[in-house]
Amino acid sequence: MTDHTPHEPTPKTPVVRLIPKAEARAIRHGFPWVYANELVTDRRTRNLTPGTIARLEDANRVPMGTVTVNPASKIICRMLDQDPEAMIDQAWFAARLSRALAHRARLYAEPYYRLVHAEADGLPGVIIDRFGDLAVVQPNAAWADMLINDLCAALQEVTGVSTVIMNGTGRARTLEGLDEKTDVLAGTAPEGPVPVPMNGATYMADVMGGQKTGLFFDQRPNHAFVAGLSKDARVLDMFSHVGGFGLAALASGAVSVLAVDGSGPALALAEEGGAAMNVSDRLTTRKGDAFDVLAALAEEGETFDVVVCDPPAFAPSKPALDAGLRAYERIARLAAPLVAEGGYLTLCSCSHAADLTKFRNASARGIGRGGRRGQIIHTGFAGPDHPLLPHLAESGYLKALTFRL
């Protein structure tokens, strides 16, 4: 029998230390990051391999927990465990994943959800979306890249999934100094898109080549809310991706849906979903730039009972905030005239830099500039499989406002 009792940090476990002015209290109370200007960065610390597991001490050398260190990132440390002697191994991953799974299993009857939402689930920089017997992992932090085999083994052990895909693409990895790569870690890659049941609709997720993990689970409650307004309605789904709002609306009895996106492959997946639901006769797709299509629809004299605009993050960072808010205002200005009298306009933002108040003000200004007046009837956020860490505003990125015009 293996004896696991000695948890003494080996001499090899590096120690990193906060500078005297660092906000140690915030970290003790749950803030998960240490910024580069809060850490003593001597030559030894600067030479640590990105992703190294270390022990964090405050300026008085009092241990604070186990962290991962990336000297190449502005977020130089991410807190993994309040226990300074924690062993970050397969068993540790399995404990975190079991806790995450227990929450999702309570929420959803079928295994289609976000299983791990990074810091909020105690796995910093790690996203895991589950599609039945398949899971897609996004290791957006160096430590998860280094320990991907332990993570994958624990994921299979806890959930029983047979296929694990690693999607290592996107801006977050670039900020960590990581290469982009997609890999099959376990099982075999699916030959085509994976069907995903959600809100009565069937979505097709391209888990190997699609955006992010292939599907956005975060909008599930907002899809459902808009679908509830869509019975017997003509619906315009702008930035529809694989048919997010549109297919849910069709499942709820929309008369027609026009799905617009700049990506031909995404629209093809929306059409495939529509075919799987037997609603192809009520679904039309149109490829084009959203701003151009909104202007063209106005010229064509088109109106809709429900209009949804769910654009990509126009303000992904603070420097992009002003330009992003102008873009949100412009979308609202162009979309508002397309809404029939007494109809509904849903505007979404996944920019964490644009908080709810700023986004709401930009949307209202745009509606006013579009010659309309509206009342807000619903404010939506990401679903409960995307928990929010109260200390980290970034984890509450998604906002959805529904106006009646």
Residue 152 bears catalytic tag: no
Angstrom distances, CA of residue 176 to CA of 56, 195, 264:
20, 32, 31
In a 13 Å sphere around the CA of 342, the CA atoms on its Cβ side amount to: 1
Dmax over CA atoms of the chain, in Å, equals: 76
Pairing of strands 163-168, 304-309: unpaired
d(Cα 241, Cα 328) in Å, to the nearest integer? 18
The one catalytic residue in 77, 309, 348, 350 is 350
d(Cα 355, Cα 157) in Å, to the nearest integer? 38
Read off the tokens for 97. 């994943």
DSSP state of 340: E
| Nearest to 151, CA basis, from 171, 170, 165 | 165
| Nearest to 193, CA basis, from 303, 274, 120, 128 | 274
DSSP 201-222: EEEEE-TTTSSTTSS--TTHHH
Pairing of strands 52-57, 15-17: parallel
How many C-beta atoms surround the C-beta of residue 84 within 10 A?
19
Angstrom distances, CA of residue 195 to CA of 97, 257, 260, 270, 382:
24, 20, 21, 11, 21
How many C-beta atoms surround the C-beta of residue 266 within 10 A?
22
| Residues with catalytic roles | 350
